[in-house]
Structures are given as structure tokens and as C-alpha cells.
Amino acid sequence: MSAAVTVRAAAKINLHLGVGAPREDGFHPLDTVYQAVGLYDDVTADRAHGWSVETRLANYLQGAFLPEAGANIVDAVGRRMAPDGDPKAQVEIRKSIPIAGGMAGGSADAAAAMVALDRLWGLHTSDEEMLAIAAELGSDVPFALLGGSAHGGGRGELVTPLVDNGDYAWVVVPDETGLSTPAVYRHFDKLCPDAPAVPPPPHGVLEALSYGDPGRLAVALHNDLEEAAVDLRPSLGALLERGESEGALRGMVSGSGPTCVFLCESTDAAQHVAAALESVRRVALVAHGPVAGAHIAEVM
């Protein structure tokens, strides 16, 4: 067994999120392009005689809803990774990724916990098995392990890394109140009763990434869930308009929302947009992508 280990995992943005009609199992088929961006959660796992999970929130997340004890996705990771099904570790999550914000913060925590517990318990799990376990835990967890930019299919869990030589500056604006992902999908079904069984492929985004050009990417960004999220929370539409009027190349709801993201042409432009949006929202964060997936930050 190792000493205490801290693993860092990044938030994600869906550069393209194509959603198909729900399948017989209730899941919606997705065709998506992920990008990991520089907002992080850190998960530290240390040796212990029992199992515990404690979460510490960044200042701008104070008051956010947290799962009840034992119901965190990290608890599921512990049960799945422990060789005998009886996990023993003390786990601390330090969260900076918006909660229930469409940026896969829970999936980032799961990926970070997988890497941390694998190291702590000396499991030496293969990359292939780690990705298989990640897919069991949640649709976004495999990408949280990989990071960078990637093309996702199935429920999002079938992930193919992409070559992306671009450097993109984003402004991330969380909402003080989360938005239920199932509720957004249900509203999508209501608004789009004729959604195709298989969503169209993301040709525009893939081509834009091959150029590494923020201007091309801004034109190609697409989110099938944006209409549903904005219809449920109209203030998001006003925020997107404000960000673009302040100079963002493009504003978009992130995933199922309610976090909104704004692609900018440079870091200076992103800082200007963030400062402008802080006049109407409590928090506006500048982040860059793509960044690495879950990786060890410290061993103590």
C-alpha cells in the first residue's frame, strides 16, 4: 500500500452534444466531443481502518447541495475498487468544479478517486480495466480519466482521444442553483419528439479542432440540450446574449446546464468578458483547454 495520494481531475465542456431519441433502456444515444478545461477537483486518499468521504468546497460553491453520506459517487468507486468489496480509506474531495452544473464534476471526482485508490491500495489496474470500470460508474467518467479532447459515443462512455493542437480560452459562469440533468433530458424529449434515433455526427467541431482555431470552433459549437435548459431557466439565454455582447466569440450552455461557457479569442479577451459578467453574476472563471485527465498531483 502507498502513502496518501492526491489526484487532480478536470471539468469538461461538451464542444458538441448531439442527443438522439431515448432508447428502450431509457438512455439517450449521444454523439459528443469533450474538452477538459482547467477547473479542477482534487481527491486525496489516505490509509484508514474504515471508510469515510469528506467534501470541502471552494468559496464560490458554499451552500451547494451535496449528496448524503454514503451516496457520493466516490463511495461507489470505493466499493467497486476494493478487492474484497469492503473499502478502507479516508477520502477528502476538494471541489472547485461547479456542482450540478453540466461540467461533470462528479465524474471528475470518480476518476480521481479511481486513480488515487488504485495507487493507495497497490492494485496496478490496467488502463483497459480502469476505463471499463469508469464506464460502469457513469457516462462521463472514462473521459475524466483521459482528459484532453475526445469524441464520445454510446451514452458518452465510448471515448476516442482526438489530436487537438489548439489552445482555447474559456469563461465559465456557474449558476447558484443547479439544474437537474434528468429534468433537462425530459424537457428535451418534450421539445424534440422527433429526435433521430442516431444523432448527427460532429463534423464541424472535428474539423475546427484539426485547425486549432478558436474562430472556427466558435462557429461549430453545438448543444442539443441548450434549448431545453434555456426554456427551463430563461435567465441563461440572457446571460449568453450578454457574454457575446461583451466580446465572447460564442456562448453556450455546458452540457445539461446551468453553467454557461464562453469561448474567447485570447486570454486577455476572456479576462475582459469575465470581468464584465461578474457585474451580473457572482462568479465568472477563466479556464483554458484542453488539459490533462485525472493524474497524480502529490504523494505524501
Peptide bond into 258 cis (omega under 30): yes
Answer for the pair 139, 34: CB distance below 8 angstroms, yes or no.
no
Among 207, 201, 218, which residue's Cα sits nearest to residue 164? 207
Helix axes 73-81, 105-120, angle to 10 degrees: 30
Q: Is position 41 annotated as part of the catalytic site?
A: no
Residue 78 pairs in a beta bridge with: none
Catalytic residue, from 140, 164, 175, 224: name it: 140
Sign of the torsion angle spanned by Cα atoms 98, 100, 104, 105: positive
The grid cell for 32 is 459528443
Q: Provide the CB-side half-sphere exposure for 210 (13 A, CA).
A: 6
Among 263, 231, 260, which residue's Cα sits nearest to residue 247? 263
CA dihedral defined by 158, 161, 166, 171, rounded to 10 degrees?
Answer: 40
Q: Is position 190 annotated as part of the catalytic site?
A: no
Output Rg (C-alpha) for the chain, integer angstroms.
Answer: 19
Among 254, 113, 132, which residue's Cα sits nearest to residue 181? 254
Q: How far apart are CA 39 and CA 58, in angstroms?
A: 11
The grid cell for 48 is 484508514
Active-site residue list: 12, 140
